Chain A
Amino acid sequence: MIKITSAIAGVATAILATSAFAGAHGDTTLGQVQAKGFVQCGVSQGLPGFSNADDAGNWAGIDVDLCRAVAAAVFGDASKVKFTPLSAKQRFTALSSGEIDILSRNTTWTMTRDTQLGLNFAGVNYYDGQGMMVPAGLGAKSALELDGANICTNTGTTTELNITDYFRANNMSFNLVAYEKADEVVAAYDAGRCDVYTTDRSGLAAQRTKLTSPDAHVVLPEIISKEPLGPVVRQGDDNWFNIVRWSLNAMINAEELGITAANAASMANDNNPSVKRLLGTEGNFGEELGLSNDWAMNIVTQVGNYGESYERHVGLNTPIKLARGVNNLWSQGGILYAAPIR
């Protein structure tokens, strides 16, 4: 008995202490990151294309690339990142307690998260929307036929809220079965526990590859929500927020300016002042972030521009096969639009 009480007391103190210590010594996040020598990045527990570890434990995906970009900007070395796999349910606590420096885990930017949860979204690296997948044998052509369905999804997500809203708005009944980890959702759906699997459409595309027979399932046409996914930081450190935001902007601007990993070094002396500012041969934009002026040069040469990262991890030549669609540059018919570096 005594043991349990003191164990609980211990946990309580530990929790209080973590939140009490996070940033207690007025240190900036950048200062702490530089002191420990790497960026601690919160990612998913395995979502192919976004953040996924191979058998050797190497992480890859567009969310992972964002963290690598920040490491390249801060240290000039994209490999100075450590990854913390987090379930949807754990992610915000991990961020606000200071366990991670950035959360880059297919996380939707919503007003509650931006205000009540004390977070800051540094931008959007994938514009998504929630979709539904059903076994083809069910014969459903539209989500509006799903009255009475059993639906599987993840806990602690926007997904849970959207699906509830959608069914209520359409006066349909349903049963929600919410698992902590995506792998269990897939396994339970595969075993027939649910008629429907719902999550972000990109997630459906990625998770589908894990089903026993991916082709025996169809994604319904309805997109029931807006899911702008992006990197997140804690509130209260504007400089760190700027570093993350501009690392993402640098990748998008680089694509727009035609700068790639291969040509960045030779383009540094281009005539275009926008290119020069980005690559650090003109102005002192890096120093204004508290970094060196070749910050973005390092991002592009070591990680690539946004388009390169996209095609490498989720594009049509990958198993995920997601067309650029709205995630194309604004100049190419998409809605990707980064503020200029000037």
Chain B
Amino acid sequence: MLGSIVFGLWWIVENTVTNLATQNKSVGFGFLSQSAGFQISTTLGTWLFDYEAGSSTYLDVYYIGIVNTFVVAFFGIFAATALGFTLGIMRLSQNFVLRAFSTAYIEITRNVPLLLQLFFWYFAVLRSLPNRRGKIEIFEGAAGINITGLYLPAPIPAEGFSATMIALAIAIAITMGINRFARIRQHETGKPFPVFWVGTGVLVLIPLAVFLVTGSPLSWEFPEFRETGPILRRGYQDGMGMLIIPEMMSVWLALTLYTAAFIAEIVRAGILAVNKGQTEAALSLGLKQGKVLQLVIIPQAMRIIIPPLTSQYLNLTKNSSLAVAIAYPELVSVFAGTALNQVGKEIEMIFMMMSVYLTFSIVTALFMNWFNSKVKLVER
């Protein structure tokens, strides 16, 4: 058995190499250090890796793709979870309007292909924004939006800012400690502890104090808008402030709205699966509706919700590759697309791309497994 698998693998590799050789194509990863001659639109990735066409390498392109995929996936998962839980709970609400809205939303969203939704949002976003020479101001002089993107102030940390970051890390550790202490205390004495308020206080006050003591070592770079001069030079200026391109907004929006509908159904199913007696018992103990949901229903529903929720997260991550259609430079677009077309190393590049998705999947799955074991109902 093992022998035939090994032989099979050997046969595939051997054949691949031979066939590539007939086509006079070589195998190897040397291309990664070649410089890439194409421009990539401004995104977190290009900013982090200081991308410059002609001097940055294909390896940089790979990293940029990973970062850009990761960013939409991360924020998408975040927003889709919040929206999905809200919709799922609304779907079970006593209020007819909320229930009907949620049902309609879920049915429509789940039944329209994601790619269509992506185009819809992209062109809806584009068409509703003022052109490049115009803007809608969100905060006078500090933030605004037009068809080229959303412009925000960019934080520029000065020397000494790391002290604030360290303080933040310490504050997080303290909050976790408090959380633990509160749980133990409540368990032993039954007295609740205002974890939320104390925790927030610690998280805000400690870093803030350090920040002020070190002399506020952070400045802001504001977007710059020009109304005069050569027509192509008018509008928001390149490289000033932080830019979120409309492609990124639309991908994020579409992935969030789409995945939220699936998460809502998972949440609804999870809640419904909790025995009705639980609600009745909790209510008869005098808990308020909200508390019943928070303390009794959701924790029990979580163990049913988490496994399918994990696969929705993975779906969202993989679906982000559709973004190539609307020019968002994520991994599939920029590395397995543009770069692949320039160097033609299909096997190596697809392998590198798959490794990234696989790693994302494994990390997400491990995290969710860990989370699941944390929230799992401990049966006594």
CB distance from B312 to the nearest CB of A (A): 12
Q: Is A13 an interface residue (CB 8 A)?
A: yes
Q: Is B57 an interface residue (CB 8 A)?
A: no
Q: Is B249 an interface residue (CB 8 A)?
A: no
Stretch at the interface among B229-237, B258-266, B274-282: B229-237
Number of chain B residues whose Cβ lies closer than 8 Å to a Cβ of chain A: 61
Q: Is the CB of A192 within 8 A of B324?
A: no
Q: Is the CB of A24 within 8 A of B19?
A: yes
Q: Which of B132, B230, B310, B341 contacts A150 (CB 8 A)?
A: B132
Stretch at the interface among B89-97, B167-175, B183-191, B347-355: B347-355
CB distance from A185 to the nearest CB of B (A): 8
Query: Which residues of A (69-101) have their CB < 8 Å from a CB of B?
Result: 88-89, 92-93, 96-97
Q: Is the CB of B232 within 8 A of A195?
A: yes
Q: Taking A24-B19, A139-B231 as contacts, is the C-beta distance between A176 and B38 under 8 angstroms?
A: yes
Stretch at the interface among B39-47, B70-78, B372-380: B39-47
Q: Is the CB of B354 within 8 A of A12?
A: yes
Q: Taking A24-B15, A195-B132, A235-B24 as contacts, is the C-beta distance between A184 and B326 under 8 angstroms?
A: yes
Q: Is A188 an interface residue (CB 8 A)?
A: yes
Q: Is the CB of A12 within 8 A of B351?
A: yes
Q: Is B25 an interface residue (CB 8 A)?
A: yes
Q: Is the CB of A156 within 8 A of B347?
A: no
A174→B327 CA distance, assembly (Å): 16
Give chain A residues whose Cβ lies under 8 Å from the Cβ of B338.
89, 155-156, 160, 178
Q: Is A164 an interface residue (CB 8 A)?
A: yes
Give chain A residues whose Cβ lies under 8 Å from the Cβ of B310.
1
Q: Which of B22, B147, B232, B333 contacts A191 (CB 8 A)?
A: B147
Q: Is the CB of B22 within 8 A of A23?
A: yes
Shortest Cβ distance from A1 into B: residue: B365
Give chain B residues whose Cβ lies under 8 Å from the Cβ of A152.
327
CB distance from B237 to the nearest CB of A (A): 8
Q: Is the CB of B343 within 8 A of A116?
A: yes
Q: Is the CB of A118 within 8 A of B20?
A: yes
Q: Is B214 an interface residue (CB 8 A)?
A: no
Q: Is the CB of A147 within 8 A of B232?
A: yes
Stretch at the interface among B98-106, B123-131, B205-213, B294-302: B123-131
CB distance from A186 to the nearest CB of B (A): 12
A93→B53 CA distance, assembly (Å): 24
Shortest Cβ distance from A234 into B: residue: B23
Q: Please, what's the 1-or-0 string for A92-115, where 1 marks a CB less than 8 Å from any CB in chain B?
A: 110011000000000000001101
Q: Please, what's the 1-or-0 string for A1-41, where 1 marks a CB less than 8 Å from any CB in chain B?
A: 10011001001110111011111100000000000000000
Q: Max chain B CB contacts within 10 Å: which of A8, A139, A145, A146?
A: A8
Q: Is A255 an interface residue (CB 8 A)?
A: no
Give chain B residues whose Cβ lies under 8 Å from the Cβ of A175.
39, 41-42, 148, 238
Q: Is A311 an interface residue (CB 8 A)?
A: no
Shortest Cβ distance from A93 into B: residue: B346
A118→B42 CA distance, assembly (Å): 32
A12→B42 CA distance, assembly (Å): 31
A140→B233 CA distance, assembly (Å): 12
Number of chain A residues whose Cβ lies closer than 8 Å to a Cβ of chain B: 67
CB distance from A193 to the nearest CB of B (A): 6
CB distance from A66 to the nearest CB of B (A): 21
Q: Is B241 an interface residue (CB 8 A)?
A: no
Shortest Cβ distance from B127 into A: residue: A191
Q: Which of A20, A22, A164, A193 contacts B38 (CB 8 A)?
A: A164
CB distance from B95 to the nearest CB of A (A): 38
A116→B342 CA distance, assembly (Å): 9
Shortest Cβ distance from A11 into B: residue: B354
Q: Is the CB of B54 within 8 A of A164?
A: yes
Q: Is A165 an interface residue (CB 8 A)?
A: yes
A75→B171 CA distance, assembly (Å): 77
CB distance from B21 to the nearest CB of A (A): 8
Q: Taking A93-B346, A150-B148, A180-B324 as contacts, is the C-beta distance between A23 and B19 under 8 angstroms?
A: yes
Give chain B residues whose Cβ lies under 8 Å from the Cβ of A8.
354, 357-358
Q: Is the CB of B232 within 8 A of A117?
A: no
Give chain A residues whose Cβ lies under 8 Å from the Cβ of B346.
15, 19, 93, 96-97
A223→B337 CA distance, assembly (Å): 26
A179→B250 CA distance, assembly (Å): 14
Q: Is the CB of B23 within 8 A of A236?
A: yes
Q: Is B117 an interface residue (CB 8 A)?
A: no
Shortest Cβ distance from B357 into A: residue: A8
Q: Is B12 an interface residue (CB 8 A)?
A: yes
Q: Please, what's the 1-or-0 string for B1-44, where 1 marks a CB less than 8 Å from any CB in chain A?
A: 00000000001110110011011110000000000011111100
Q: Please, what's the 1-or-0 string for A159-203, where 1 marks a CB less than 8 Å from any CB in chain B?
A: 011011101100001111111110010011001110100000000
Q: Taking A89-B341, A117-B25 as contacts, is the C-beta distance between A178 and B238 under 8 angstroms?
A: no
Shortest Cβ distance from A175 into B: residue: B41
Give chain B residues whose Cβ lies under 8 Å from the Cβ of A97.
346
Q: Is the CB of B342 within 8 A of A112?
A: yes
Q: Is the CB of A193 within 8 A of B147?
A: yes
A148→B131 CA distance, assembly (Å): 15
Q: Which of B13, B19, B39, B350 contacts A22 (CB 8 A)?
A: B19
A101→B212 CA distance, assembly (Å): 68
Give chain B residues whose Cβ lies under 8 Å from the Cβ of A257.
none
Since A92-B344, A97-B346 are in contact, a sample of 11 more A-B pairs with Cβ atoms closer than 8 Å, ordered by chain A residue number, is: A11-B354, A12-B350, A88-B341, A118-B23, A118-B25, A145-B232, A148-B233, A155-B324, A176-B38, A187-B123, A188-B126
In the A-B complex, the 7 residue pairs with the closest CB atoms: A117-B344, A156-B341, A236-B22, A118-B25, A118-B23, A20-B15, A176-B39
Query: B interface vs A, CB < 8 Å?
Result: 11-13, 15-16, 19-20, 22-25, 37-42, 53-54, 119, 123, 126-127, 131-132, 147-148, 230-233, 238, 245-247, 310-311, 314, 324-327, 329, 333, 337-338, 340-344, 346-347, 350-351, 354, 357-358, 361-362, 365
19 contacts between A and B (CB under 8 A): A1-B310, A1-B365, A5-B361, A16-B13, A16-B16, A88-B341, A115-B24, A116-B343, A116-B344, A152-B327, A155-B338, A160-B38, A160-B338, A161-B37, A164-B38, A168-B53, A168-B54, A175-B39, A193-B126
Query: A interface vs B, CB < 8 Å?
Result: 1, 4-5, 8, 11-13, 15-17, 19-24, 88-89, 92-93, 96-97, 112-113, 115-118, 138-140, 145-150, 152, 155-157, 160-161, 163-165, 167-168, 173-181, 184, 187-188, 191-193, 195, 234-236
